[in-house]
Amino acid sequence: MSMWTSWPSREALDRSHRSARRRGIGAGVRVVLLALAVWSTVAKTQLAGWQTALALLGIAAGSVVLWLFFRCTLRHLLWPSVGLIALLVGGGAACQALGAPVAAGVLLCASAVVSIQRLPLGAAVPLAAVALVDFGLLGRSDGWLVSLLTVAGLCLLGYTARLDAEARGQAQRLHAQERAALKAEAETAALDERARIAREIHDVLAHSLSAQTVHLEAARLLIERGADREVVLERVVAARRMAREGLAETRQALSALRGDMSPVEDFLRELVSAEGARLVVAGPSRGLPAEAGLAVRRVAQEAMTNVRKHAPGARVELRLEYRPQEVELEFRDYGGKAPVDNSLGSTGSGYGLVGMRERAELLGGALDAGPAEEGFVVRLRVPA
């Protein structure tokens, strides 16, 4: 849009976002100008009583017109704004005709300055020219050079005020955009956190509750068939054990989500010590992000569970390697007394290695699992 037809932005015209000090200075300047016009009309003219009252009424009307002009320009109403400035210029000419040059000068100068500051330049320049010609040529005896410098100074004042308002408006828009971006970022982070919590709780509870359901359903069928008490009790005890493990894992998940979980190495050492496995740590140790740490824990737990189910008695070795941009966990079993069947989908419910692979991919990592020369290997890599 051409600079001659474009309005200053609404942020530039709106004074509500200005600081209290700046608004106070502006209000003080307007009060001083109004007081000067009133004083010059009452004390410095030889007007009759009715003429003085009429001049004061005109000054009050000019103040109202100027206020309306600010409201109309804020809404980008061109013709009402032009009409209001024309009224101010006419009021200035009337004050000159009545012999109140100071009041006339205030009205004419104010008309020129605010026109350049708040209107499209295509409309502001003609209006300001009329006001300044009236101010500079009619009734002045200071000489043409003084008049010319005064007019130039007023034009420069109005245009400088326009540029200053535009700069402040641009800063206001950028600040509003920054606030909106920060709000959107916070909302996205909250949604991501909710998704992370939902995924973690789902993984833990789905695994635990599905296993309990299987054991309890088996116990029910055994009772209906009149099975031995010891057989039924074994199923009930297994369901209770799964409930305790699920509760412990839920507590671990909540601790991880709060960011107060123990270091990954400590967790892995506890895991291998309970299972008689071996842990090797390579690279300089460092703290891991919550999601990366959870992924390592969950994969180690799931792989160990698969060994207990499908390769009991197998020799197990874990290797945790810290790399510059990622961390890798390698879980290897070397076969056990029973046939190995560590298929990715064997545990189901979104908590098996398929679920762990999805978790790794969400973090930008990868999980590979498959048979080795002897036993089975699970390898996890996640950014950290």
What domain range is 350 assigned to?
A: 262-384
Q: Is residue 46 part of a domain?
A: yes
Domain boundary at 83, 108, 140, which? 140
Residues 371, 334: Cα–Cα separation, whole Å: 10
The full length of the chain comes to 384
Residues 18, 123: Cα–Cα separation, whole Å: 26
SS3 label, residue 141: coil
Determine the pLDDT at residue 292. 85
Determine the pLDDT at residue 381. 93
Q: Is residue 343 part of a domain?
A: yes
Q: Which two tokens stand for residue 241?
A: 């054990």
Q: Return per-residue pLDDT of the chain as tens, 384 residues.
A: 577 888 888 777 777 666 667 667 767 777 776 777 677 666 655 666 666 676 677 777 778 888 888 888 888 888 888 888 888 888 877 777 777 677 777 778 888 888 888 888 888 888 888 887 777 755 555 656 666 777 788 788 888 888 888 888 888 888 888 888 888 887 887 777 677 667 667 666 766 777 778 778 888 888 888 888 888 888 888 888 778 777 777 776 666 666 656 688 888 888 888 778 889 999 888 888 877 888 888 888 888 878 877 777 788 999 999 998 999 999 998 875 444 444 444 443 335 667 778 878 888 899 998 887 778 899 999 998
Determine the pLDDT at residue 97. 75
Q: Which two tokens stand for residue 62?
A: 């000019």
Determine the pLDDT at residue 228. 83
Residues 279, 273: Cα–Cα separation, whole Å: 9
Residues 61, 56: Cα–Cα separation, whole Å: 9
Supply the DSSP string of 322-370, one letter for each residue. E-SSEEEEEEEE---SS-----TTSS-TTTSHHHHHHHHHHTT-EEEEE
Whole-Å CA distances, 266 to 200, 287, 298: 21, 12, 14
Q: Is residue 155 part of a domain?
A: no
Determine the pLDDT at residue 207. 65
Domain boundary at 79, 110, 140, which? 140
CATH number at residue 296: 3.30.565.10
Domain boundary at 87, 122, 140, which? 140
Q: Provide the 10 A C-beta neighbour count for residue 274.
A: 9
Q: Is residue 175 part of a domain?
A: no
Q: Is residue 32 part of a domain?
A: yes
Residue 299's nearest CA partner among 382, 208, 187 is 382
Q: Is residue 245 part of a domain?
A: no
Q: Is residue 58 part of a domain?
A: yes
Q: Is residue 207 part of a domain?
A: no
Residues 19, 25: Cα–Cα separation, whole Å: 10
Helices 290-310 and 144-224 cross at an angle (nearest 10°) of 20
Q: Provide the 10 A C-beta neighbour count for residue 73.
A: 24
DSSP state of 180: H
Q: What is the total count of domains within the chain?
A: 2
Determine the pLDDT at residue 382. 92
pTM: 0.46
Burial of 306 (0-12, 13-18, 19+ CB in 10 A): buried
